[in-house]
Amino acid sequence: MRGLVIKNTGSWYSVKTDEGHTVECKIKGNFRLKGIRSTNPVAVGDRVEIICNQEGTAFIKDIEERKNYIIRKSPNLSKQSHIIAANIDQAFLIVTVNYPETSTTFIDRFLASAEAYRIPVSLIFNKTDILSEAELNYQNLMINLYETIGYTCFAVSALDAKSLDCLVPELKDRITLFSGNSGVGKSTLLNHLIPGLNLRTAEISEAHNTGMHTTTFSEMLPLPYGGWVIDTPGIKGFGTFDMEPEEICGYFKEIFKFSKDCRFNNCTHTHEPGCAVRKAVEEHYISESRYNSYLSMLKDKEEGKYREAW
Ligand SMILES: Nc1nc2c(ncn2[C@@H]2O[C@H](COP(=O)(O)OP(=O)(O)OP(=O)(O)O)[C@@H](O)[C@H]2O)c(=O)[nH]1
Ligand SMILES: [Zn+2]
């Protein structure tokens, strides 16, 4: 039988079979995946083949090849990685101009990593209901910036169900990863998009999460009109993996365009003469905030830092 892995709780995996049943499965044998040493060989979003036992449980026999997957390094076992999710069609990055403020560095790091994983991102600006006029103006500038670069943006309020209608056609029949800093309203949004879900929102999760380092597991939530949302509690971003300096530039779409006109083809766009990127920043063709985010990623790379949570 074939199915989709929708939940992983330690050694058990919930698999939604193509027939529509949910079966609890274990892994049988040793899945060694090409090139990655992972703490979890099977991830949410994986398409798998299962064999059922008579007691109603089953084991996962095979994993279909993945279209993509996102990993993060295990904090304590440096050589090992944890696969957060596989076969993602798109990511929704939930951001807020205020309450709390999402920094442009955070947004740009997320976008660059998503480019590396080849996952399209839409930016969802939430909490528009509580923004001042000045904050709304700032939000419009941000939306203009990111749309010009090529990212779809939506302005919503999770407290106003009507404002979320624009998200439905985007979500329908796709697998969408929800990400964003703590407190931006991911749970509130999901509770509205999936009636009856009752995800923990701030009040509850604060009571449970204080200072705890529990392992959190991703989960796929079915949308009433078809499609799935992947909720990754406690995981803020993708974490940047090993990128060469030249590669980093390639993940900033508009910077990459200008870089073709730099005098040196190994230009890092920091100090070199004849740098078309720095010229474009000076002439405001590239925004300073984007350029600064590029520099900050480059700096991490130079310092050999692995940035997990930004
Ligand atoms: N005014 C306003 N408040 C919102 C909106 N969306 C969420 N909130 C509030 O913001 C707080 C945080 O929302 P959550 O949905 O718990 O945020 P989260 O992103 O799930 O946070 P974590 O669980 O920490 O990841 C709650 O008190 C929500 O009621 C919104 O659009 N407008
Ligand atoms: Zn340059």
Considering the domain architecture, whether residues 130 and 105 belong to the same structural domain is answered as yes
Q: How far is the CA of 222 from the centre of ligand 1 (A)?
A: 21
184 lines ligand 1 (CB under 6 A): yes
Report if residue 196 sits inside a domain: yes
Predicted confidence (pLDDT) at residue 208 exceeds the cutoff of 50? no
Considering the domain architecture, whether residues 27 and 95 belong to the same structural domain is answered as no
Tell me how long the chain is.
310
pLDDT for 88 equals: 97
pLDDT for 78 equals: 59
CATH for 102: 3.40.50.300
Lowest mean pLDDT among 67-81, 194-208, 275-289: 194-208
Domain boundary among 209, 231, 253: 231
Predicted ipTM?
0.97
Considering the domain architecture, whether residues 96 and 24 belong to the same structural domain is answered as no
| pLDDT tens digits, 140-183 | 999 999 999 999 999 999 999 999 999 999 999 999 999 999 99
Considering the domain architecture, whether residues 222 and 265 belong to the same structural domain is answered as no
Report if residue 160 sits inside a domain: yes
Please report how many Cα atoms fall inside a 13 Å half-sphere around the Cα of residue 203, on the Cβ side: 2
Query: What values do phi and psi take at 107, rounded to 5?
Result: -60, -50
Nearest CA to ligand 1 atom 29: 188
Buried b (16+ CB within 10 A) or exposed e, 211-247: eeeeeebbbbbebeeebbbbbbbebebbbbeebeeee
Report if residue 93 sits inside a domain: yes
Report if residue 240 sits inside a domain: no
Number of domains in the chain: 3
CA distance 31 to 14: 18
* 100 preceded by a cis bond (ω within 30 of 0): yes
Structural domain harbouring 30:
2-67
Report if residue 79 sits inside a domain: no
User: Is 188 marked within a binding site?
Assistant: yes
Domain boundary among 16, 33, 67: 67
pLDDT for 34 equals: 56
H or E stretch at 304:
none
User: Is 148 marked within a binding site?
Assistant: no
Considering the domain architecture, whether residues 111 and 211 belong to the same structural domain is answered as yes
Report if residue 76 sits inside a domain: no
DSSP code of 38? B
Quick one: which ligand is closest to 298's CA?
2
Considering the domain architecture, whether residues 214 and 293 belong to the same structural domain is answered as no
Q: How far is the CA of 168 from the centre of ligand 1 (A)?
A: 19
CATH for 295: 1.10.40.50
Considering the domain architecture, whether residues 255 and 223 belong to the same structural domain is answered as no
What mean pLDDT is predicted for residues 5-12? 88
Predicted confidence (pLDDT) at residue 249 exceeds the cutoff of 70? yes
Quick one: which ligand is closest to 98's CA?
1
CATH for 20: 2.40.50.140
Which residues in the chain belong to E strands, given as ranges? 2-9, 12-17, 22-27, 47-52, 58-63, 69-73, 81-86, 90-95, 121-125, 152-155, 175-179, 219-222, 228-231
Predicted confidence (pLDDT) at residue 307 exceeds the cutoff of 90? no
pLDDT for 222 equals: 94
Percent of the chain topping pLDDT 90 = 67
Q: Which residues contact 47 (CB under 8 A, 6 or more apart)?
A: 2, 3, 4, 5, 63, 64, 87
